[in-house]
A and B are shown apart, each in its own frame.
Chain A
C-alpha cells in the first residue's frame, strides 16, 4: 500500500473523523478511496435525512490501525475478507442483524458461500464489492517486445526471468502488498496460496527475487496513472484499478491501449465487506446505509462507477452491458472456478511474510 497516502489518510481522519460525532442523526462511513459514486451518498442523505461523514482510506492496514486503537467512531467500515477475519478475533465487529436488512435477499448466495470461509455464516459482514488480482498491460508495448499473436494471460510474463527481462525496459510493477503477491506466486508454483509453511514462502520469494531486477517498483496505486501514460507496460494489480487506467488511457486519446487479463494459472479473488464496529455510535443508521447499498440500483451504480463486481443479484439488470460483459470485471464461470480467496494469516506468519517481502523489495 502506498505509505504516503496512508499518512495523508491518517492526518485527514484524525483531523476530520471525529468532528461531527456528537450530532444527532449522522453516519460515519470509512471506505476505500474512489469506491462509490458520490451521487449515491447524496441520494441516501436526501432519502433518509441522515448526514453522512464519508472518510476514505487507501489500505487495509490503515483501517486496521484505526480500529485496533479503539474508539474509531465509525459506523461502517469496509475491510477485505482476510482482514475482517483477523479483526474478528479481536472482537472489533458487531454481529449484523439480517432481519433489519430487507434487501439482504439480493446477496449472491454462491459468493456469500466463499466469503463465509473468513466469517462463519457471514454473521458480521455484508458484501460490498469484489475483484481479482490480475495482469494489466500496454498492448502495443508488449507486442513490440514479445511478438504479435501471443496472448498475455499468463503469469509467466512476470515470473519467468527470460520473459520479464524482455519487459524490463518498458517497466513492470507489482502491488506493494505481500499477502496478495505471495499468494498469487504460491498459486503459480502449484502450492497452496494460503500456505503458512516457511519452505513454501521461501520458494515464492525465490521466484520473486529471481525476477526482482526486472521490476520497476512495488506500489499499490501508482500504476493506475503510469500504465495509462505509458510509463510502465505491465502490472500485477487490482482489476478495477487497471480498468480505470484503461478508461483513462482512452480518454487521453493518445492511442495507448490497455488490456486486462485474469491469469490462466488462476489468481486471487477478494471481497470487500461492509461491517459495523462493535462500538459504532450510530448502528441504526448503519443498517439503513447497508440496506441502501444492497438495493439493486445502488449496487449497480457502484459497479458501473468503480469497475468492480458486486455480489448482488438484483443489480444485474441495472449494470451497464459493457461492464457486465467484461470478463475482467465479471469473469466467466470457468475462470471463476480457478479463483482462490485469501485467508487471514497467523501473526507469526505475517511477520515472516513481511520480512520476506522487505527482503524481496530491497533486494537483500
Chain B
C-alpha cells in the first residue's frame, strides 16, 4: 500500500512539475492578450459585485458608511467574529412586494424586448440589404441619437407624450381623437421609452448577422418552393439567430434594471426593480437591503444568460 500511495504521490508530483514547466514556457504576450477580457471582467464586474454582495450581508446602521462591519476582531480574546446577516435575503423572499417587482421588471423588459425586436428587425434588414453606398449613412443614423444625452432623449418623450404634447396635438388636429390620450405616466410610455432607447442595441447585432447572410440562400429557398414569408422564417430568422440573441440580451438585461425611463415616463404604479433599488438606497437609506436587491437581480439575470450561452456553445460544438 505504501508503495502504491507513493506512486500516486510521485505521479501527482510529476504532473505538478509538468505544469510548473509549462507555466514557465508560457508565451507571455499571448497570455496577456488572452487574460485582458478576464482582467476587465474581474476589475469592472467581479470585484464590484463582491463589494455589493458583502454589503448585502451587513446590517443597516446609522453611521458612516451606513452599514455594519462583517468582521470584528476582539483584541483581548483574540476572537475573530464574523457576522453575516441573511435577514435581507429572507425579507426579500418573504415580502411579496420584491418578487412582484422582479416579475414586473422582467415582464416589462421582456415585452419591450419583443417590441424592440419587431421594430429593429425590419430596420436592420433594410440596412443590410441596402446599397453599400447608403449603408454607412443609414448605420450612422442609427447611432446618431447617441450623440445627444440619453436623459435629454428620454425627456423629449415627455414632451411628445404629455397631454398637450405633440402626439396628442397631431392626433387631435387630424380628428382621430377628440380628447387627449393619457400616455405619459403609463406602462405604454415606459415601453416606448425602452424600445426607443435600446433600438440601436438591437439593430447593430441584427445588422451584422443579416449582413453576413448570403442572399443566394434566400433564392435557394424560393427556388425550392418556399414563399418569401416561409423563407424568412426558415432561413433568414435562423441565420440571424446569433444576432437576435445578442440583440435581445443587450436590450433585455439593461431594461430589467432600467431606472430612468420608468421614473420619467412611467406612472407611480409602474413597479420596476430599478426604482425599488433606488428607494431602498435613498428613501430607506438601507444600503444592505439595496445590495441584496441588486445581488438577487444579478443572479436572476446572469443565470439564464449563462444557460443560454452554455447551450449555444454546445450547439456550436456539434
Q: Interface of A with B (CB < 8 Å)?
A: 1, 3-4, 6-8, 59, 61-62, 64-65, 67-70, 86-87, 89-92, 176, 178, 217-218, 231, 347, 350-351, 354-355, 357-359, 361-364
Contacts and interface: CB of A to CB of B under 8 A. Distances in A.
Given A68-B65, A86-B62, A347-B62, 7 more contacts: A3-B278, A4-B263, A7-B263, A218-B268, A358-B97, A358-B276, A364-B97
A346 B151 CA distance: 35
Given A61-B285, A231-B163, A354-B283, A361 B64 contact: no
Nearest to A59: B282
Contacts of B275: 3
B268 A361 contact: yes
B288 to A, nearest CB: 11
Given A61-B282, A358-B97, A364-B100, A4 B267 contact: no
Nearest to B100: A364
A351 B288 CA distance: 13
A348 to B, nearest CB: 10
Interface string B267-310: 11101000110110111111001000000000000000000000
Contact of A91 (B64, B269, B286): B64
A362 B282 contact: no
B112 interface: no
Contact of A4 (B163, B264, B279, B281): B264
B56 interface: no
* Range, interface on chain B: 20 to 34
B269 A362 contact: yes
B264 A68 contact: no
B63 interface: yes
B64 A363 contact: no
A92 B62 CA distance: 10
Interface string B248-265: 000000000001100110
A231 B184 CA distance: 13
28 contacts: A3-B263, A3-B275, A3-B278, A4-B264, A7-B151, A7-B260, A59-B282, A61-B282, A61-B285, A62-B282, A64-B282, A64-B285, A69-B64, A70-B65, A89-B62, A90-B66, A217-B185, A347-B60, A347-B62, A347-B285, A350-B285, A351-B289, A354-B279, A354-B284, A358-B279, A361-B269, A362-B268, A363-B269
Q: Counting chain B CB atoms within 10 Å of each CB, which of A59, A68, A70, A350 scores highest?
A: A68
A355 B97 CA distance: 9
A217 B267 contact: yes
A69 B259 contact: no
Nearest to B67: A68
B285 A65 contact: yes
Nearest to B271: A362
Contacts of B276: 358
A354 B281 CA distance: 11
Nearest to A86: B62
B284 to A, nearest CB: 5
A239 to B, nearest CB: 23
B263 to A, nearest CB: 5
Contacts of B163: 231
A68 B66 contact: yes
Contacts of B315: none
A217 B268 contact: yes
A354 B95 CA distance: 13
B151 to A, nearest CB: 7
A68 B65 CA distance: 5
Contacts of A359: 97
Contacts of A364: 97, 100, 271
A279 B269 CA distance: 40
Contact of B64 (A61, A68, A86, A357): A68
A231 B264 CA distance: 17
B7 to A, nearest CB: 59
Contacts of B259: 3, 7
Contacts of A354: 279, 283-284
Contacts of A355: 95, 97
Contacts of B279: 354, 358
List of 9 A-B pairs having minimum Cβ-Cβ separation, nearest first: A61-B282, A361-B268, A89-B62, A70-B64, A68-B66, A362-B269, A90-B62, A3-B263, A354-B283
A336 B126 CA distance: 68
Contacts of A363: 269
Nearest to B274: A3
A90 B287 CA distance: 15
Best-buried of A178, A231, A361 by chain B (most CB within 10 Å): A361
Contact of B286 (A3, A59, A351): A351
Contacts of A178: 283
B178 to A, nearest CB: 15
Contacts of B65: 68-70
B95 to A, nearest CB: 7
A65 B64 contact: no
A90 B63 contact: yes
Contacts of A68: 63-66, 285
A273 to B, nearest CB: 18
Given A90-B64, A358-B97, A6 B269 contact: no
A64 B271 CA distance: 24
A60 to B, nearest CB: 9
A114 B271 CA distance: 38
B100 to A, nearest CB: 7
Contacts of B97: 355, 358-359, 364
